[in-house]
């Protein structure tokens, strides 16, 4: 091995990384705020149809990115069993996104993000119950402030809505469940897919799953959308832009993961939630309480401690 260390990143390399992270933040926060605006402020009360628009855009743009632009090599499904596994992941993913969108009709983005920060708690819960894999005791201790913070935030939330809260908890749990399930179902070397190809396979399946749900639960939504478009054509542009942003959330997440370390991604992810809270309060001017903000801060501190404990445990195990 050479005695020379890795060369420091160039200015252009740093600017590229900053641009990637900025794009990741902008697309994440942008789709969150636009979802809130459409479903709550604008009055477009069709979260399942909105999710189906997102999944349609992800299917089309994933194909363009992989088959035409060749951002990553095209992978293929190897068996009927793998198709069934990906379908199961799609179902959980749909449940997560739809529940999250439903919750935005009733809850402010700031509170939505506070609940979403409890994802590590549910991930640890599902990982233990499904794999019986124990973490270090310190890792479980760090989950106490994560949950306690949300309890405080809930008690101090002026716009608390029970149904919205239940939907948001369900979305957070489903997101964590998908992460653990993905690790179990696609763990063998022959079945591993990068996130871009997984999205390419999951999105069309999600559209097929969401279509009957939209028809049954959001009757005549296409006709209603057309009527809205005759009164205000901006609704079409909102939906197109929102759906495109939903794809860029996944694309930029993949690129940031590729060009930074896992630890950097965790830190950036924690900060992203805090930025989303501040931006949403400035835009929507939803009331916040000192108790609510202290609760959210406690949750974020818990998530940071959890990440540190996980990193330390992995370092000792290796």
The answer to whether position 277 is within a domain reads no
Contacts 24+ apart (CB under 8 A), 70-75: 71/196, 71/251, 72/194, 72/196, 72/197, 74/197, 75/193, 75/194, 75/197
Low-confidence ranges of the chain (pLDDT < 70): 1-9, 11, 261-263, 266, 315-318
Measured CA distances, 312 to 179, 299, 309 (Å): 21, 20, 5
Residue with tokens 């939906």: 239
The answer to whether position 147 is within a domain reads no
106-137 residues labelled b (16+ CB within 10 A) or e (exposed): bbbbbbbbbbbbbbbbbbbebbeeeeeeebee
The answer to whether position 175 is within a domain reads yes
**Domain span including residue 236:** 34-135+161-259
The answer to whether position 285 is within a domain reads no
What is the reported pLDDT for 285?
Answer: 87
Residues 186, 132 contacting (CB under 8 angstroms): no
The answer to whether position 108 is within a domain reads yes
- d(CA 284, CA 158) in angstroms, rounded, equals 14
The answer to whether position 23 is within a domain reads no
What is the reported pLDDT for 1?
Answer: 42
pTM for this predicted structure: 0.88
The answer to whether position 167 is within a domain reads yes
Radius of gyration over alpha carbons of the chain, in Å? 20
For residue range 134-155, what is the model confidence (pLDDT) as tens digits?
778 888 898 999 899 999 888 8
- d(CA 298, CA 93) in angstroms, rounded, equals 28
- Number of domain units in the chain: 1
The answer to whether position 296 is within a domain reads no
- d(CA 145, CA 282) in angstroms, rounded, equals 26
What is the reported pLDDT for 67?
Answer: 96
Return the structure tokens found at 71: 């951002």
């Amino acid at each position: 091995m050479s005695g020379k260390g890795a060369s420091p990143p160039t200015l252009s390399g740093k600017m590229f990384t900053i641009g990637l992270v900025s794009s990741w933040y902008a697309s994440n926060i942008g789709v969150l705020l636009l979802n809130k605006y459409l479903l709550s402020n604008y009055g477009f009360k069709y979260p399942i149809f909105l999710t189906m628009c997102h999944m349609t855009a992800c299917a089309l743009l994933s194909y363009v990115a992989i088959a035409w632009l060749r951002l990553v090599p095209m992978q293929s499904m190897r068996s009927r069993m793998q198709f069934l596994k990906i379908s199961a992941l799609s179902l959980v993913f749909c449940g997560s996104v739809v529940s999250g969108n439903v919750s935005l009709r009733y809850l402010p983005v700031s509170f939505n993000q506070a609940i979403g920060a409890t994802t590590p708690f549910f991930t640890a819960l599902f990982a233990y119950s499904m794999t019986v894999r124990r973490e270090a005791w310190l890792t479980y201790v760090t989950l106490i402030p994560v949950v306690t913070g949300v309890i405080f935030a809930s008690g101090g939330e002026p716009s608390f809505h029970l149904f919205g809260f239940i939907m948001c908890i369900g979305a957070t749990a489903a997101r964590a469940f998908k992460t653990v399930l993905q690790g179990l179902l696609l763990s063998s070397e022959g079945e591993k897919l990068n996130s871009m190809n997984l999205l390419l396979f999951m999105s069309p399946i999600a559209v097929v799953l969401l279509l009957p749900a939209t028809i049954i639960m959001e009757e005549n939504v296409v006709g209603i959308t057309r009527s809205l478009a005759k009164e205000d054509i901006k609704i079409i542009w909102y939906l197109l832009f929102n759906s495109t942003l939903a794809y860029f959330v996944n694309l930029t997440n993949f690129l940031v993961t590729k060009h930074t370390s896992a630890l950097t991604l965790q830190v950036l992810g924690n900060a992203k939630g805090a930025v989303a809270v501040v931006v949403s309060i400035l835009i929507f001017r939803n009331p916040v309480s000192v108790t609510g903000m202290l609760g959210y801060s406690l949750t974020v501190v818990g998530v940071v401690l959890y990440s540190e404990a996980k990193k330390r445990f992995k370092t000792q195990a290796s």
